[in-house]
Amino acid sequence: MKLNKLIGILAVAGLAAPGIASATNGYFSHGYGMKAKGMAGASTAMAVDAMGGANNPASMVWVGDRFDLGADWFRPIRGASRTGTDGNANNFSQNSDSNDFIIPEIGYNKMLNNDMSLGVSVYGNGGMNTDYQGSTTSQANCTGAGSSLNNLNALCGSGRLGMNLEQLLIAPTWAYKISQNHSIGVAPLFAYQSFSAEGLSAFGGLSTDKTKLTNQGVDTSTGWGVRVGWQGKLADSVTMGAKYSSKMDMTKFDRYKGLFAEQGDFDIPETYGVGIAVKATPTLTVALDYDRINYGDVKSINNTGLTTCTNGTSACSMGASAGLGFGWDSIDVWKLGFEYKYSASMTMRAGWNHGDNPVRNKEQTFNIIAPGIVTDHMTLGMTYALSPASELTVSYMHAFEQEQSGATSPNFAVGGTEKIRMSQDSLGIAYGMKY
């Protein structure tokens, strides 16, 4: 099959995939590719499948002619509560509905000669996906943000409360061996993202355009970026890698220009990282990655959140250039993975992923709809060779429950203390074929 035809098929398959929700390190996945996921995402210095476009494009020239197709069942449990409000009328405790998601992944690589490859990886990000029922409060006391209705949702708006962010990324790759032991790679990145929000009507008084704030259906945006990488074998038992992904300048969500800072802008942040893989024994490889995700460079994510904004200032408006954000900071992520060749046909994996909590202290009010706060993940994985040319890989991830609490936003006249919480599990399977 010609490469350009296959890239088109993979793109269509990705666009037709079910909704993506993959919050682990903020709203980025803990890893890309089932083998990497089994090792807590440690992949920068590894060359194991055709998902290098999502990890380190320089790895693709080492994996040979290959096709990978997988899907992850992802189950995030999100919840929020408010206690101690005036007269307890606005107390609530809820878990988000819509907890089960399927996350597809597709990779293809073709060697053009012994030193050069072309390929493509298709993968997803997401995680700002919540769905809370309405009518959680029982009196018209949510007046600080302009609401005067009874039976309101947790953020004092009418109807169901939630939002959904999905990002599909397509990464064609070119990789080249610059020497016997070193390679470089480039992956132009195309991103397609969709977003919807509902139940935020209480913030009409804060929005620069309340007609473009909430309940506007699904809006989409697109953008481009680039990922570059290096991978090198420094000794028989030591491989290192480095990668950099540019910030992706996305078109604006016009239907939600009264919600996001910079009139609906929601760029994908810059990331970079380094990794090392050490073959400790003939059967055991230990990999360690460090990644940086610069959420702090995207105003709609980083700007002051609802809990700490000051009424009457530009930082407490929605949609303005310096307007309200989610109060997220850039984070550091450490990924430690182990790969053990148990037999000629079976390889086992395990790992630990620790990332910072991006949500700044006391910014919990608006993050009721985006509680990307988990920090610690445990992973397991296994690959079984069906034949010399085909294999099945499975992976499991558990993100331990994390909680964050603080005072309710002063924009609401309800007082009290709010808490957001999240835990996650995922189970995935992938088929790999060498040809």
What pLDDT score does 15 carry?
Answer: 45
For the ranges 130-134, 360-364, 381-385, the maximum mean pLDDT occurs at 381-385
Q: What is the pLDDT of residues 35-75, one digit of tens each?
A: 999 999 999 999 999 999 999 999 999 999 999 999 999 99
What pLDDT score does 413 carry?
Answer: 65
Label residue 223 by pLDDT band (50, 70, 90).
very high
* Alpha helices by DSSP H, 252-321: 261-264, 299-302
Can you tell me whether residue 246 is helix, strand or coil? Answer: coil
What pLDDT score does 194 carry?
Answer: 94
Instruction: Report all structural domains of the chain as residue ranges with CATH numbers, in order of start.
Output: 3-434 (2.40.160.60)
User: What is the reported pTM?
Assistant: 0.92
Q: Is residue 267's pLDDT more than 80? A: yes
What pLDDT score does 151 carry?
Answer: 64
Close Cβ partners of 89 (under 8 Å, ≥ 6 residues apart): 137, 138, 139, 141, 414
What pLDDT score does 140 carry?
Answer: 45
Close Cβ partners of 106 (under 8 Å, ≥ 6 residues apart): 10, 13, 14, 68, 69, 70, 121, 122, 123
**Which residues of 199-318 form beta strands (DSSP E)?**
219-235, 238-245, 249-250, 271-281, 284-293
Q: What is the 3-state secondary structure (H, E, C) of 113-181?
A: ECCEEEEEEEEEEECCCEEECCCCCCCCCCCCCCCCCCCCCCCCCCCCEEEEEEEEEEEEEEEEECCCC
Q: What is the pLDDT of residues 85-119, one digit of tens each?
A: 765 667 788 899 888 888 899 999 999 999 999 99
Higher pLDDT pick, 210 / 6:
210
Higher pLDDT pick, 428 / 101:
428
Q: Is residue 209's pLDDT more than 70? A: yes
Higher pLDDT pick, 276 / 135:
276
Token pair of 212 as six digits: 């473009």
